Amino acid sequence: DVLVNQIAAGEVVERPASVVKELVENALDAGATRLDIDLEEGGIRLIRIRDDGGGIASGELPLAVSRHATSKIATLDDLEQVATLGFRGEALPSIASVSRFALISRTADAAHGARLEVDGGRVGEVVPHPHPAGTTVEVRDLFYNVPARRRFLRAERTELGHIEEWLRSLALARPSVELRLNHNGRLLRHYRPLREGADPLARVAEALGEDFTRQCLRVDHAAAGLRLHGWVGLPTASRSSADQQYFYVNGRAVRDRVVAHAVKQAYADVLFHGRHPAFVLFLELDPRRVDVNVHPAKHEVRFRDGRLVHDFVFRTLHEALADTRA
Ligand code: ADP
Ligand code: MG
């Protein structure tokens, strides 16, 4: 069983950034509004994430680290319209099979918290442990027991860079969640929570810098059950924005060729050729019209009607951009 989990880890856990992604998504699924992320050595030595979400009852801790135990999907109908970020029940057992792992948690109504350690897949005993309401997950020495995987890890700076980039993409999608990132004891990033009614551009400025927000265009258009909203960057002389492309489908960061093509076409048509547009765009549609169950890491989707999505994105951006020239 440890072996099965290690094999699954091959798909889910590529590097420290993939661990951070799975743990942060779990915290968000648990309703967390504040996350503290502590890293050592680019996450290779330590990843510790504390959240203020609903917590896990002490009796359920062993379930949380066992394979295909998810509290999120009960029926096939749920699978058709996944509302949570996680749903496979694979992440924790996979991560715990390739690290020194600890899960510490307390639900709001429990008298005290509890802790469960898993060492390279060997599950320990649940013991009482003080903890505020919410959950902390600790992942130490990633791949310590899988040398072949460990050799593929890059320098501390590179691994940290992947984590920061993923967190940036998340911060854009979840402006009301407070996020702190500490590395080797130093506060690296602090995304402050965006309060109700505040300017949503504030979080974008925190994530992408004012170079982007000074020169961007607000987009918000709905038709045929599709809605596209967010910001597109206008070309500036200085900015190289190849890496500032953020696209979300129902709140999930997604890389999709259909959409990438539509965006590129719209820009090329109206404004300029051969340059990378910068954008933060959110597409919302009925979850039944998109399949998120394509890949374990989940950054790919399949639209039931790719053509319609393509044309909608293209037309919306084309019109918005054309307006700026008129
Ligand atoms: P999935 O997210 O696909 O359900 P995971 O392996 O990531 O599977 O997590 C297993 C289960 O552990 C979740 O379904 C959830 O019930 C519980 N869990 C994990 N992390 C947290 C957390 N931070 N807060 C509350 N519950 C959690
Ligand atoms: Mg999960």
User: What are the pLDDT digits (tens) for 136-179?
Assistant: 999 999 999 999 889 989 999 999 999 999 999 999 999 999 99
- Residue 113 · residue 129 · CB < 8 Å: yes
Least confidently predicted of 50-54, 88-92, 144-148, 306-310: 88-92
For residue 2, name the pLDDT band (cuts at 50, 70, 90): confident
Q: What is the pLDDT of residue 87?
A: 56
Distance (Å, whole) CA 203 – CA 272 = 28
Average pLDDT in the 285-296 region?
79
pTM: 0.90
Distance 77 CA to ligand 1 centre (A): 20
- Structural domains of the chain in order of their starting residue, each with its CATH number: 2-191 (3.30.565.10), 209-325 (3.30.230.10)
- Residue 92 · residue 71 · CB < 8 Å: no
> Could you give the 3-state DSSP secondary structure of residue 187?
strand
Q: Centre a 10 Å sphere on the Cβ of residue 77 and count the other Cβ atoms it contains.
A: 9
Q: What is the pLDDT of residue 239?
A: 53
Distance (Å, whole) CA 263 – CA 278 = 10
Mutate which of 18, 21, 28, 92 for ligand 1 pocket (most atoms within 8 A of beta carbon): 92
- Residue 50 · residue 34 · CB < 8 Å: no
Is the beta carbon of 92 within 6 A of some atom in ligand 1? Answer: yes
Distance 30 CA to ligand 2 centre (A): 10
> Could you give the 3-state DSSP secondary structure of residue 304?
coil
Is the beta carbon of 136 within 6 A of some atom in ligand 1? Answer: no
Q: What is the pLDDT of residue 291?
A: 82
Distance (Å, whole) CA 200 – CA 189 = 18
Distance 199 CA to ligand 2 centre (A): 31
Is the beta carbon of 72 within 6 A of some atom in ligand 1? Answer: yes
The residue with tokens 């109908």 is: 77
Ligand nearest to the backbone CA of 89: 1
Atom of ligand 1 nearest to the CA of 69: 10
Distance 205 CA to ligand 1 centre (A): 31
Is the beta carbon of 27 within 6 A of some atom in ligand 1? Answer: yes
User: What share of the chain in percent tops pLDDT 70?
Assistant: 88
